[in-house]
C-alpha cells in the first residue's frame, strides 16, 4: 500500500459517550481523497454516530478528528468551515418542507457561500439535472415521492460543492421500487470521484462502488476490507454472524 492521495478525514483514537454509555470505542480511521467507504453493522453499533462526528453533529469526547486539514474542536468557526466542505444525506431526507425544491437547493449557497441568487439557481438546476429531476424544481417536498425527495437531498448537499459526502442510510426509509433510483445517483457520484462515506446495507452497492467496507459492532471497528474479501472471506466471528443474517434471503 503506497497510496499517495491526500488524507482528507483522519480519526485518531476517537471515543464518545452518551452519558455513561460508550458509543464509540477507540476509532482509528483515515480516508483518502476520492475513497469510497461503506460502513455496515447492526443497529446501535455506533456507525451513525461515527459519521455524525465527522461533521460535528455529534461532539466526540476524546481523540482527534481532522477533516480537510481542520481539526474539529468546540470552536464554532472551525465547525462551520468543516461543514461547508462536507455534505450530508440523511435517512429521513430532512428537506425543508416550507421551501420549494429549488429554494432548498439554493439556500446554503446563497446564505453560506454568499452566491448571487441567479448563479445559485443555475447551479441548483444543474445538480437537479444530475439527479434526474430537473422538472420538479418548483414543487414542494411534500408533493414528491420518497425517492425523489432523497435525490433532492443529494442535490441540495452537492450545491455546496462539498469535497466529502456522508450518507446515513440513505435508502432505508424508501419503498423498494425507489431504492434503485437513489443508488443510481450515488453510483454516478462515486464514479465522478467524490470522497464518500456511506452507511448502507445495500450489498450490491457496496460491491459496486466501495474501496473499503468497514464493519462496526458495539462501538468498535471490527473489520476493514476490500468488498470482495469482506463478503467472501470475513474473519471475525461477529462479522460472519452479521453477514449470515443480512445475506440470508
Partner 1 sequence: MSDHFVRTQSSPTLLPPSSRLGVLQWMRENLFSSWANGLFTVAGLYLLTLAFPPIFNWAFLSAVFTGQDGSVCRADGVGACWAFIDAKFNQFVYGRYPAGEQWRVDVTALLGIAGLAPLLVPNRLPKQWFVGFLLLVFPFLAFVLLYGGTAGLVVVETSDWGGLMVTLVVAVTGIAASLPLGVFLALGRRSKMPVIRILSIMFIELWRGVPLITVLFMASVMLPLFLPEGMSFDKLLRALIGVALFSSAYMAEVVRGGLASVPVGQYEAAKALGLTYPQMMSRIVLPQALTTVIPGIVNNFIGLFKDTTLVLVIGLFDLLGIVQSNFTDPAWISPQTSTTGYVFAAFVFWIFCFSMSRYSIYMERRLETDTQR
Distant-in-sequence, close-in-space partners of 186: CB < 8 Å, separation ≥ 6: 154, 167, 170, 196, 198, 205, 209
Distant-in-sequence, close-in-space partners of 243: CB < 8 Å, separation ≥ 6: 231, 234
Distant-in-sequence, close-in-space partners of 234: CB < 8 Å, separation ≥ 6: 215, 223, 225, 240, 243
Please identify, using beta-carbon distances, which residue of 109 and 234 lies nearer to partner 1: 109
- Phi–psi pair at 19, nearest 5 degrees: 55, -115
Rounded to the nearest whole angstrom, what is the least distance from the CB of residue 223 to partner 1 in the complex?
Answer: 28
- Decide: 168 and 150 in contact? Cβ < 8 Å: no
Question: Closest Cα partner for 143 from 189, 104, 89, 87?
Answer: 104
Rounded to the nearest whole angstrom, what is the least distance from the CB of residue 236 to partner 1 in the complex?
Answer: 32
Rounded to the nearest whole angstrom, what is the least distance from the CB of residue 238 to partner 1 in the complex?
Answer: 29
Rounded to the nearest whole angstrom, what is the least distance from the CB of residue 80 to partner 1 in the complex?
Answer: 6
Please identify, using beta-carbon distances, which residue of 87 and 170 lies nearer to partner 1: 87
Rounded Cα distance between 207 and 36, Å, is 11
Rounded to the nearest whole angstrom, what is the least distance from the CB of residue 230 to partner 1 in the complex?
Answer: 28
Please identify, using beta-carbon distances, which residue of 64 and 98 lies nearer to partner 1: 98
Rounded to the nearest whole angstrom, what is the least distance from the CB of residue 78 to partner 1 in the complex?
Answer: 12
Rounded to the nearest whole angstrom, what is the least distance from the CB of residue 15 to partner 1 in the complex?
Answer: 22
Please identify, using beta-carbon distances, which residue of 152 and 186 lies nearer to partner 1: 152
Distant-in-sequence, close-in-space partners of 190: CB < 8 Å, separation ≥ 6: 36, 196, 209
Rounded Cα distance between 141 and 6, Å, is 37
Please identify, using beta-carbon distances, which residue of 89 and 222 lies nearer to partner 1: 89
Output the nine-digit C-alpha cell for 186.
Answer: 450515488
Residues that bind partner 1 (CB under 8 A): 55, 57, 80, 83-84, 86-88, 90, 92, 94-98, 107-108, 111-112, 140-143, 153, 156-157, 160
Please identify, using beta-carbon distances, which residue of 31 and 51 lies nearer to partner 1: 51
Alpha helices in the chain (DSSP H): 47-54, 76-85, 101-111, 117-130, 146-158, 176-191, 203-209, 227-232, 237-246
Please identify, using beta-carbon distances, which residue of 97 and 193 lies nearer to partner 1: 97
Amino acid at each position: 500500500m503506497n497510496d499517495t492521495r491526500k488524507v482528507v478525514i483522519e480519526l485518531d483514537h476517537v471515543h464518545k459517550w452518551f452519558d455513561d454509555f460508550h458509543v464509540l470505542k477507540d476509532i482509528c480511521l483515515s480516508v483518502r481523497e476520492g475513497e469510497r467507504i461503506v460502513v455496515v453493522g447492526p443497529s446501535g453499533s455506533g456507525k451513525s454516530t461515527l459519521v455524525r462526528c465527522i461533521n460535528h453533529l455529534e461532539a466526540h469526547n476524546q481523540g482527534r478528528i481532522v477533516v480537510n486539514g481542520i481539526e474539529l474542536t468546540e470552536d464554532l468557526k472551525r465547525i462551520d468551515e468543516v461543514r461547508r466542505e462536507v455534505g450530508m444525506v440523511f435517512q429521513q431526507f430532512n428537506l425543508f418542507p416550507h421551501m420549494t425544491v429549488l429554494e432548498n437547493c439554493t439556500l446554503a449557497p446563497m446564505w453560506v457561500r454568499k452566491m448571487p441568487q441567479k448563479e445559485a439557481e443555475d447551479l441548483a438546476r444543474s445538480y437537479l439535472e444530475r439527479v434526474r429531476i430537473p422538472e420538479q424544481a418548483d414543487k414542494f417536498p411534500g408533493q414528491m415521492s420518497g425517492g425523489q425527495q432523497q435525490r433532492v437531498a443529494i442535490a441540495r448537499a452537492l450545491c455546496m460543492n462539498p469535497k466529502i459526502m456522508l450518507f446515513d442510510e440513505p435508502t432505508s426509509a424508501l419503498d423498494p421500487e425507489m431504492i434503485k433510483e437513489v443508488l443510481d445517483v450515488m453510483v454516478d457520484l462515486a464514479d465522478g470521484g467524490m470522497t464518500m462515506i456511506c452507511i448502507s446495507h445495500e450489498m450490491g452497492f457496496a460491491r459496486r462502488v466501495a474501496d473499503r467496507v468497514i464493519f462496526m459492532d458495539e462501538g468498535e471497528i471490527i473489520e476493514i476490507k476490500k468488498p470482495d474479501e469482506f463478503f467472501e472471506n470475513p474473519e471475525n466471528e461477529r462479522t460472519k454472524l452479521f453477514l449470515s443474517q443480512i445475506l440470508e434471503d
